[in-house]
Amino acid sequence: MKLIEAPFAALDTARNVLLTPYGLSEPDLQRALSEIFRHRVDYADLYFQYVRSESWSLEEGIVKSGSFGIEQGVGVRAVTGDKQAFAYSDEINIEALMNAAKATRTIATAGAGRIKVAGAMHTAHDQKQAHKLYAPIDPLASLDSTAKVAMLEKLEKMARQIDPRITQVMAGLASEYDVVLVARSDGVLAADVRPLVRISLTVIAEQNGRREQGFAGGGGRYDYARFDDAYLQNMAKEAVAQALTNLDSRSAPAGEMTVVLGPGWPGVLLHEAIGHGLEGDFNRKGSSAFAGKIGQRVAAKGITIVDDGTIADRRGSLNIDDEGNPTHCTTLIEDGVLKGYMQDTLNARLMKAGVTGNGRRESFAHLPMPRMTNTYMLNGNRDPKEIIASVQNGIYAVNFGGGQVDITNGKFTFSTTEAYRIENGKITYPVKGATLIGNGPDALTRVSMIGNDMALDGGVGTCGKDGQSVPVGLGQPTLRIDGLTVGGTG
């Protein structure tokens, strides 16, 4: 097998964690792949995974929950044309591996889809030269349990000390140590060791019988040491400031108006309303609003959007994707013109396009599909203050909560969690209950000003698609969008 040039330390770790303890070696992997190829298939792969995870939550100074878990298994996939046969097992040994390989071959022969064997079932994928974007460390071991709880207690205390109106504090901490190994029928053997941590803070402020909420969070592919006192203090200030701002909010106006989106997290609108529509599978099947439009203008001039899985330590970054391919920085839209889609191996082959390293899956028990990594819009040249000053009647949206999007036509609905009224070029007061309603492709053509303050989110994003969840990143600069519908309460 060809060894990927990426972190050999990761490859050694993967062998030691996923193969050696179970009496497996590389010849066993080749034997399983050969078993699949006893039936006519185009491609096959094995995906081994070991995940150790933990989470802690603190509320009112009390540890409300603490959990620790280990999951491991192997997935086997066979691909013929546009059909995928997939089997997985949550046991790792030669018998389970061969049973999964035989089941996959049987599925492929019968033309069926997915089956579970001897414990569980699933698929795998591809790679070339990998990156070294994060250290192959175990974040769970970076602090003991007492220190983890003490960190959450400190965060709670910081939040309460900022303002007496804070009456309730909830803090959470979570981490993962994820080891993956991919063996493919083209002879590639690839591995990755993926640390991931996340911290979150929710506060409730009360005043005159009114209660409002604020949130802050962050994380990435490193260990708990990143969450030092300065980091925690900034989190506390952000969450408290949002809650206190909302205490003073008024009912949001309704109607068509100019909307200014702040930098960073408001990129979630870009992610949902536009990003999913640029994933290869939706475009191959013709169900995306962007299908068949490569080379055409789909956005206002100045808009460039990329998906970049190669940013060091970011939540959405990967040294290799879940098919063993190196991640890329892929330009999706350049100066308003559609340049390409995010691709996994299957859809790239069927669309005669290049693989972009976007094959992702939730776990060994799931099929890979084209997914975003870190998706964001590049800077423009406008000062954010100039953008605000240009608006006579509008809304400035700084943070968002939930939203809904229809991939086929791009229609979206997003609720703000922090927003302000803009009148005569000035931010006048915070508003509550503002909902943005529009169409993603149409909204791209209505962007009239792009700020020079691009920021990525703090590292808390999780993306859902077809029942699978994966960590992602997003971002954008300040944007002015003209003629967007605002659903309000006033």
Looking at residue 9, its pLDDT comes to: 80
What pLDDT score does 406 carry? 83
Distances (CA, A) of 1 to 26, 27, 33, 150, 349: 8, 9, 12, 47, 22
Spell out the alpha helix ranges (H) of 196-293: 229-247, 267-270, 280-284
Distances 233 to 190, 212, 236 between C-alpha atoms, Å = 40, 20, 5
Cα–Cα distances (Å) from 300 to 143, 151, 480, in that order, read 48, 46, 12
pLDDT tens digits along 203-256: 999 999 999 999 999 999 999 999 999 999 999 999 999 999 999 999 999 999
Q: Quick one: 71 exposed, middle or buried, by C-beta within 10 A (0-12, 13-18, 19+)?
A: middle
Give me the pLDDT at residue 114, please: 43
Segment 97-129, tens digit of pLDDT: 999 999 887 766 655 444 333 322 223 333 345
- Asked if 345 contacts 323 with a C-beta cutoff of 8 angstroms, the reply is yes
Task: Give the separation between CA 78 and CA 202, rounded to whole angstroms.
Answer: 45
298-333, pLDDT tens digit by residue? 999 999 999 999 999 999 999 999 999 999 999 999
Confidence of residue 138 (pLDDT cuts 50, 70, 90): very high
Per residue in 343-387, pLDDT (tens digit) is 999 999 999 999 999 999 999 999 999 999 999 999 999 999 999
Of 76-90, 377-391, 436-450, give the range with the top mean pLDDT: 377-391
- N-to-C CA span, the chain: 65
- In the predicted model, is pLDDT for residue 257 greater than 50? yes
Per-residue pLDDT reduced to its tens digit, 325-340 = 999 999 999 999 999 9
Q: What is the pTM of this model?
A: 0.92
Sign of CA dihedral 480, 483, 485, 486: positive
